Structure 1
Amino acid sequence: MDDFIPATTAEHLLWLLAEHGVEHLFLNPGTDSAPLQEAIATLGKAGVAVPRVILCSFESVALAAAHGYWQVTRRPQAVFVHVDVGTQNLGAMMHNALRDRAGVVVIAGRTPYAEEPGAPGGRSNPIQWHQDVPDQAGVIRGYAKWVMEVTRPAMLARAVGRAVQLAAGGLPGPAYLMISRDVLMDPPATEPGRRDRYALPSPPAADPGTVRRVAEALAAAERPLLVTAKTGRRAAGFHAVTRLADAGVRVLDLAESGCVNISTAHPLNVLTAEEGRRAVEQADLLLVVDADVPWIPRFTSPAPGATIVHVDPDPLKTDTPLWTFPVDVAVTADGATALAQIADELERTGHVPAVRPAPAVPGPAAPPPTPPVAGPMSAAEVVAALEEVLRPEDLVVEEAVTASVALHEGLSRTLHGTMFGAGAPGLGWGLAGAVGVSLASPGRRVVSVVGDGSFMFGVPTAALCLAAEAGAPIMAVVLNNDGYRASRLPVFELFPHGLSVAQGDAAGTRFAAPPDFAAVARACHAHGETVRDRAGLAAALRRGLAAVESGRSAVVDVHIARD
């Protein structure tokens, strides 16, 4: 380790994380983190580079922030939590990290093994018996890509190297590493361990024969449709999707993606949900790439004779027990890589899709829009105001739930990497995820659009505290409809003639006494403002953005129509 010799395994652990490129350690401390906290002070005084430690007052926001940072940088960060209870507090953010294939290393303490008097790091508090559970890793085993416990210092270097390698490589995902405080206090291994020999595999490419087959099918198709959700997470994916669109392939950019797969200004971008349903039904070839749910059979399905090509690093979706979408050609490949190969083959052969106009589907004539002047605001009006105040390079983080469609249909996003989302349904990601995006994008304005339910799920006091601790301000725009509309709509859907519809409400979906979100923001030293009048909406958003530019977070609580 050059001229530095660590005195404890905890010091070795911090050095290893930095050696493997981990820049931040999102720390929620507990009784088992004491050796790590002392090591931070010791290494800091010695001038040894270690990850920047960011205090997190709740575990779920720590993981969401690390997830957001990964989306921007594709570099895994570390989260430290307290034994089993801290692991449990990661909650739905573990689900999101699994489904969104987010590379992050979660390090959890373990109850000390030593009980004898004088044992360094041994048990010294009743909770260390209470927290000694039969299977701590079982709390998240179904959501972690890899699990290991470090039981002796000699295995630490290999375990950390493997954790970072697996988190970032192949199908990325969360790695879960456990280590007790008595092991952290042990003398370190003599073998330092370094980041070499833990190479990441290149993204898998499609075999040439399959590329030719898909390109020929695209060239022969009259109404090809590319359906994608997450290919645009990488710049190479955004570029590859655009190349296919430039060649005449329509693109359905699924709203669930939380990313920009293609510019909203591209003429072949299918912009509305209704148009997307028709496009699925009309296509004679569907190229499904990096999309977990390409369509919902309850509402739409491809034509019986349509050819369906599925490209995914795991086209069998082995972590989803019931995934039975029809597939004619399954391609195991990275989406961005395969689409670039297909575009290259089309250019090489001089073939372009034989695109024919889709048959017209008459719909009801829409009356000319008139700006509302009274009544509660709609989500679409808030999106229109955001469209007015945001710049193309601003970063938008989305957890708008039932307003997601309005956001994706009404907000222009023309640049790669200007839209983010959890890519999974675990609510509470939008605030701290935005902090992670901000931390990875210094100098950029970051705006998180969340529902009122999502705002509360996101532990706002902890998320705003994290933003201040990290120096990563965000503006949260709360679409406040006084309840859980996402939980009300299924009741209306399943019981269209029921009493709930007749009453215009469903049990357990209205907040009788909701918090004052602007006051919550001000209590956390952030700018807070409540908006009920559409005339003042744009000005309020500009004030929130000005706060972000000054280094201070903001919450703009916008009251919109309940339904």
Structure 2
Amino acid sequence: MYTTSSVFLQSLANAGITHVFANWGSDHPALLEDLQRQRSENDGQTASKIITCPNEMVALTAAQGFAQVTGKPAAVIVHVDVGTQAMAGAIHNVDRGRVPVLIYAGASPFSSLGEMRGSRNEWIMSVQDIPDQAGIVRQYMRFTSQIESGKVATGVVHRALQIATSHPKGPVYLWARREVMEAEVEYSAVNTSIPLRKWPSVEPVALSTRAANTIARALSEAHSPLIITSHSGRNKDAVQLLADLSTALAIPIVAVCPSAVAVPFSHPHFIGVTYLNGASHSHHLAKADVVLVLDADVPWIPAVQPPHPDARVFIVDSGDPLKIISAVGQWHVDAEMMCNADIVLALEGINAAVQAQIKTSDASLIEERRTAITAEHDEWVRKLDRLEDAWPQDLQAGRATLPNVLGVLRRTIAQKTPSRGLQKTLVLNESITNYAIVWQHMRTEVPGGHITSGGASLGWSLAAAVGAHMGAGNNYELMVSIVGDGSFMFCVPSSAYWIARRYETPFLTIVLNNGGWKAPKMSMLGCHPTGYGSRASSGAELSVGFGPHCPDYSQIAVAASAGWVWGKRVGGDGGNVKEEFDAAIAEAVRVVLEERRCAILDCVLESI
């Protein structure tokens, strides 16, 4: 027997969906039945690989990680209204991260007298039926649609994926009533393959010749130009193009709230990473006379550190320069020009225009700028070195600093991986208040080698590592998830590490344990720097701390995996802190590389 569910699942596979991250419920009998039919007819195999996920947010986050490293969409199946809501913050992340994911949710039956297969036969179906299920997520989706018949299911799937993979990429949401998914169809409906070439993604848009020439001329004539980017490196081809532009005109590059590698860390004109905490923007912003903003949601905070009022500002964004499709509420950047263009095509156009105009540029000014920026980059690197090597004078009593830990981690990876470097290491960074510090000290060189969720909801890094491993595990020697202790608990580790063991996706987790949520404390101090809260004796008193008895995060992972994960808490126990971290990180990396198991280090740092 073939049903609408048969058509739906085969349509996903025909469209190139290789992985479906599923959390099953009472609305999915026909899907489960058809998957078992597939196994019985295909030596135990299903058309797409089904990944069982005991938690919906973990399912969507794993799909996000998969799509981030492969560039290809994954699918997620959840359960009616409650499963849709349980995806919670992951919905925000795939939207803001512009990640193509297809989400499907069943819906309660609309018949209740047994008129059709799938009619209501459980009490819970009445309380899970709401008037507008798609309305739960519509403002975060690029497209929502109901599947109303098996005859149209393939077209609905193809249209959804066509939209999800077109700029600005993002999530789509489909849903269907149980009776519809149970309805029988002819074999021909399942066996018919609609050519995907009939449903192409929208071709990326190039920068107009006028815009490219205007931007190139402004940069070429500037005395103090500046490039700001956040997400340009989501397209790996943009990394070298940006480096070429910076090199040609000696333009400093600042990564503001990045979600991907913009340029190699060693590029002499790369001068830092900022997440705009306090007055932390580059000093170049205040003096820049021309600013080029590439794929950045928040290039600066106007009330805190705006650019010079006379600066010429040019905005280039891949698909949504005014943040309309992304449904951002109040948003504005003072700019001379707003450009909707694919970042790779835009940089190609600007670079070509620069080469045509560079002969008229002031060569001595460019070389003078190049010397100054290179010296600034080199001094920044020396500062990072000093911070990594500045261990507490009393190694028995002191706590390791975050630069200490990251320095050991980076050097250990370089020594232990087969390639003897970080070229084949993927860093998943969810360190929140320590975002910039992790970006800087991990010193990533390779495009795509360091990513974040691109959104603001915590709980991304563990499941994203699982999904990334499933999508591109063969491309990397090691995956490292660096996560704060607060974020770790948002990650639903009981589910994430269970999936990691079930599907054998080994990665290393570094928990930065500062005893609580530092972010809300910093937000409070930003508004009330000398108020009552500033005088709180501890994070626990302020109600943002987890002490005095913090969880042992490493053992949560060990328990969730029934002992498959190797875990250890390190630091703060009175031993030689440098020797502890050297030995623990070396062993953790060895476990992942040689034993192909997950490893986790609960790194105790100075408490908030």
CA distance in 2, matches of 1:68, 1:251: 30
CA distance in 2, matches of 1:276, 1:252: 12
1:384 correspondence with 2:379: no
1:223 correspondence with 2:258: no
1:66 correspondence with 2:101: no
Instruction: Give, as a single letter, the amino acid of the residue that structure 2 aligns with 1:25.
Output: V
Instruction: Give, as a single letter, the amino acid of the residue that structure 1 aligns with 2:255.
Output: L
1:83 correspondence with 2:128: no
Q: Report SS of the residue matched to 2:179.
A: helix
Q: Output the TM-score relative to the length of structure 1.
A: 0.94
Deviation at 1:36, TM superposition (A): 0.9
Q: Report SS of the residue matched to 1:376.
A: coil
1:166 match: 163
1:38 match: 33
Deviation at 1:171, TM superposition (A): 1.1
CA distance in 2, matches of 1:81, 1:59: 7
Instruction: Give, as a single letter, the amino acid of the residue that structure 2 aligns with 1:483.
Output: G
Q: Is the 8 A contact 2:470 2:505 kept in 1?
A: yes
Q: Is the 8 A contact 2:256 2:298 kept in 1?
A: no
1:527 match: 566
1:104 correspondence with 2:101: yes
Q: Report SS of the residue matched to 2:205.
A: coil
Deviation at 1:224, TM superposition (A): 1.2
Instruction: Give, as a single letter, the amino acid of the residue that structure 2 aligns with 1:404.
Output: Y
1:543 correspondence with 2:543: no
1:348 correspondence with 2:393: no
1:316 match: 322
504-513 or 523-532, which moves further after superposition? Answer: 504-513
CA distance in 2, matches of 1:424, 1:346: 33
Q: Report SS of the residue matched to 2:510.
A: strand
CA distance in 2, matches of 1:184, 1:503: 57
Deviation at 1:530, TM superposition (A): 0.6
CA distance in 1, matches of 2:455, 2:531: 31
Deviation at 1:69, TM superposition (A): 1.0
Could you tell me which of 551, 555, 569 is aligned with 1:515? Answer: 551
Post-superposition Cα deviations, 1:271-297, rounded to whole Å, max 9, x if no partner, equal 254885201112111000100000122
1:410 correspondence with 2:416: no
CA distance in 1, matches of 2:229, 2:185: 47
Deviation at 1:404, TM superposition (A): 1.0
Deviation at 1:376, TM superposition (A): 1.7
Deviation at 1:49, TM superposition (A): 5.6
Post-superposition Cα deviations, 1:480-518, rounded to whole Å, max 9, x if no partner, equal 011001111122222222222223445221113332111
1:236 match: 237
Could you tell me which of 554, 559, 562 is aligned with 2:604? Answer: 559
1:290 correspondence with 2:290: no
CA distance in 2, matches of 1:151, 1:302: 52
Q: How does 1:62-211 map to 2 (within 5 A)?
A: 62-117=59-114, 119-188=116-185, 190-191=188-189, 192-194=192-194, 195-211=196-212
1:50 match: 47
Q: Is the 8 A contact 1:228 1:251 kept in 2?
A: no
CA distance in 1, matches of 2:535, 2:46: 64
Deviation at 1:101, TM superposition (A): 0.6
Deviation at 1:350, TM superposition (A): 4.0
2:473 match: 442
CA distance in 2, matches of 1:77, 1:251: 37
Deviation at 1:45, TM superposition (A): 2.2
Instruction: Give, as a single letter, the amino acid of the residue that structure 2 aligns with 1:322.
Output: Q
1:15 match: 10
Q: Report SS of the residue matched to 1:138.
A: helix
CA distance in 1, matches of 2:508, 2:40: 36
Instruction: Give, as a single letter, the amino acid of the residue that structure 2 aligns with 1:499.
Output: Y
| Seq. identity, % | 30
Q: Report SS of the residue matched to 1:317.
A: coil
Instruction: Give, as a single letter, the amino acid of the residue that structure 1 aligns with 2:600.
Output: V
Q: Is the 8 A contact 2:108 2:128 kept in 1?
A: yes
Post-superposition Cα deviations, 1:402-458, rounded to whole Å, max 9, x if no partner, equal 111211222211111100110111100111111111212224210000000000000
Q: Is the 8 A contact 2:69 2:471 kept in 1?
A: yes
Deviation at 1:345, TM superposition (A): 1.8
Could you tell me which of 442, 452, 455 is aligned with 1:424? Answer: 455
Q: Report SS of the residue matched to 2:582.
A: helix
55-64 or 504-513, which moves further after superposition? Answer: 504-513
Post-superposition Cα deviations, 1:160-179, rounded to whole Å, max 9, x if no partner, equal 11111111112111100001
2:496 match: 463
Q: Output the TM-score relative to the length of structure 2.
A: 0.87
Q: Is the 8 A contact 1:253 1:262 kept in 2?
A: no
1:266 match: 267
Instruction: Give, as a single letter, the amino acid of the residue that structure 2 aligns with 1:13.
Output: F
1:3 match: none
Q: Report SS of the residue matched to 2:106.
A: strand
Q: Is the 8 A contact 2:227 2:293 kept in 1?
A: yes
CA distance in 2, matches of 1:407, 1:491: 23
Instruction: Give, as a single letter, the amino acid of the residue that structure 2 aligns with 1:554.
Output: A
How many residue pairs match? The answer is: 555
CA distance in 2, matches of 1:51, 1:560: 43
Post-superposition Cα deviations, 1:4-39, rounded to whole Å, max 9, x if no partner, equal xx7111111111101000010001011112211111
1:26 correspondence with 2:21: yes
Could you tell me which of 275, 284, 292 is aligned with 1:279? Answer: 284
CA distance in 1, matches of 2:19, 2:502: 12
